[in-house]
Amino acid sequence: MARTDKAPKEKPRGEVDSPPPREEYFRKILIANRGEVALRVIRACRELGIQTVAVYSTADVDSLHVRFADQHVCIGGPASAESYLNIPNIISAAEITEADAIHPGYGFLAENPSFSHICEECRIQFIGPPPDIIAKMGDKAVAKHTMSAAGVPVVPGSDGIVKDPAEAEAIANRIGYPVIIKAVAGGGGRGMRVATNDRTLRTGIVTAQAEASVAFGNDGVYIEKFLVNPKHVEIQVLGDNHGHVIHLGERDCSIQRRHQKLIEETPCPVMTPGLRKKMGGAAVDACRAAGYVGAGTVEFLLDRDMHFYFMEMNTRIQVEHPVTEVVTNTDIVKEQIRVAAGYPLSLTQDEVRFEGHAIECRINAEDHERGFIPCPGTLTTYHPPGGPGVRVDSHAYRECVISPHYDSLIAKLIVRGHNRTEAIERMKRALDEYIIEGVKTTIPFHLWVMENPVFRQGDFGTNFIDEHFGK
């Protein structure tokens, strides 16, 4: 083609919106985690121009987070205690690679106040709240007390740790059965048991203390009123070092088995704008009072009368954060990094907009026909879905190994639609397209849920699976 354009720059086509100079957050971030969340953090860093260091156990040498990071350091053997929980090796890895910050992801060391403290001492920025906040909000009994003091309704129960069965019995008779016994150091559904009378409570306390001692190195347990088939509704909060705390609305995570979430969505199908304002406001007020910094989640139970009760707080990024991201058009991991670097949040509460409806299904290597037992193995075929409104967060690929050493999550499948109906139909379509062979997955279970009339109607609680699945 003839080139006759002699002076291409002489007449600009109008004002070009030149971007402001990029803010400097960190030079290099080490990700003290594995799997999809490590990849999630790497993605955010790449988009921000920050270098990344992956750490990995010898079992994870072929993982995508190792492949996609700028640098990688082997930190130990397959057992988590030898690698992803091995604080000296992780800190050393940060030092030898000259990383100036560590992102802990979720699980592993994400809510370990002494890890946050050690980072501080080594002048490595921990991307999360300071140690005292993790300690205060991470201890379930202390957090409940803090929330209650800030005026947030809490489930009636013991004021902190119960010493012995006799104390527990007195409290249970005051608040009424059924009650639930929880380990103060527990999480992810572990260390919980329900008691319906004095006898089961007495044996339950003793067993729970023994279990908690073994599982968490802390035998503290507390009891609270056990709500009947409540909804699990949580509020995503973000705080910075400039006194700002905002919330990004709620997530309904009621579809659980053994207190482990399988499906999350936002908005909660029974939510009203007024209730969202109340719950969001309560979460924000309590976090502001506590001086909360970073991303966090305030978990509530919502009963049939639309009363909500604080349950616990997670002082880290949550597995299910993408549903919030897609309806609010935010990037929570980038906000974490901004805030950790001392910058203010990039948006105010008034700028938070909710658009559409999002659902996340956790695609686990599990056999739903045999009580969701994990099915580790090698993926012989892997083909994720695509097209409009579909997001896949996954570290999986063809021939990758879902290792028995770690959790069974293969992928998080997130869809967004104009409304809940479109989101459900899109999820069905995407689940149908998802081709995974070599291990059993929860895809058939999710397809069943998407067709279930109770789920579709929206008024389900945490007992949904027990009540409806396989019946």
The residues carrying an active-site annotation are 316
Q: 322: exposed, middle or buried (C-beta count within 10 Å: 0-12, 13-18, 19+)?
A: buried
Which listed option, another protein, a copy of itself, none, makes contact with residue 368 (CB within 5 to 8 Å by class)?
Answer: another protein
- C-alpha 371/C-alpha 132 separation (Å) is 39
The Cα–Cα gap between 128 and 224 comes to: 29
Determine contact, residues 255/455, Cβ cutoff 8 Å: yes
Q: Report, in Å, the least distance between residue 40 CB and a copy of itself.
A: 6
The nearer residue to a copy of itself, 138 or 322, going by C-beta atoms, is 322
Q: Given the rule CB under 8 A, which of 68-76, 149-157, 168-176, 346-354 is the region that contacts another protein?
A: 68-76
CA-closest candidate to residue 237, choices 174, 168, 314: 314
Touching a copy of itself, residues 366-425 (CB under 8 A): 383-384, 386-394, 397-398, 417-422, 425
| Bond into 178 cis (ω within 30) | yes
Residues contacting 247, CB < 8 A, separation 6+: 235, 236, 237, 238, 280, 283, 284, 349, 352
Q: Rule CB under 8 A: choose which of 117, 428, 437, 447 binds a copy of itself.
A: 428
Please tell me whether residue 463 binds a copy of itself under the rule CB under 8 A.
yes
Geometric angle at alpha carbon 100, from 43 and 118, rounded to 5°: 115
Please give the size of the binding site for a copy of itself, defined by CB under 8 A.
81
Beta carbon nearer to a copy of itself, 370 or 457: 457
Distance CA 190, CA 186 (A): 6
| Interaction of residue 249 with a copy of itself, rule CB under 8 A | no
Task: Give burial (CB, 10 Å; 0-12/13-18/19+) of 222.
Answer: buried
Pick the closer one to another protein by CB: 271 or 365: 365
What residues between 20 and 59 interact with another protein by CB under 8 A? 46, 58
Among 108-116, 280-288, 311-319, 453-461, which window interacts with a copy of itself (CB under 8 A)? Answer: 453-461
Q: DSSP assignment of 250-282, as one string?
A: EEEEEEEETTEEEEEEES-TT--HHHHHHHHHH
Q: Site residues for another protein, window 416-435 (CB under 8 A)?
A: 428, 432, 435
Structure tokens at 72: 């990688």
Q: Scanning residues 288 to 317, which ones bind a copy of itself (CB under 8 A)?
A: 302-306
Closest CB to a copy of itself among residues 144, 412: 412
Residue 127 — φ and ψ, nearest 5°? -90, 90
- Give the residue, chosen from 443, 460, 461, 462, that forms a contact with another protein under the rule CB under 8 A: 443
Q: Which does 62 bind (CB under 5 to 8 A by kind): another protein, a copy of itself, none?
A: another protein
**b/e burial code for range 438-455 (CB count within 10 A of at least 16 → b):** bbbbbbebbbebbeeeeb
Choose the one of another protein, a copy of itself, none that binds residue 4, judging by a C-beta under 5 to 8 angstroms depending on kind. a copy of itself
Buried b (16+ CB within 10 A) or exposed e, 369-382: eeebebbeeebeeb
Q: Which residue lies nearer to another protein by CB, 69 or 141?
A: 69
Q: Rule CB under 8 A: which of 129-148 touch a copy of itself? A: none
- Is position 447 an interface residue for another protein (rule: CB under 8 A)? yes
The residues of the shown chain that bind another protein, judged by CB under 8 A, are 46, 58, 61-64, 66-67, 69-77, 83, 88-93, 95-97, 122, 368-369, 380-381, 383, 397, 399-400, 428, 432, 435, 437, 440-441, 443-445, 447-448, 450-453, 470
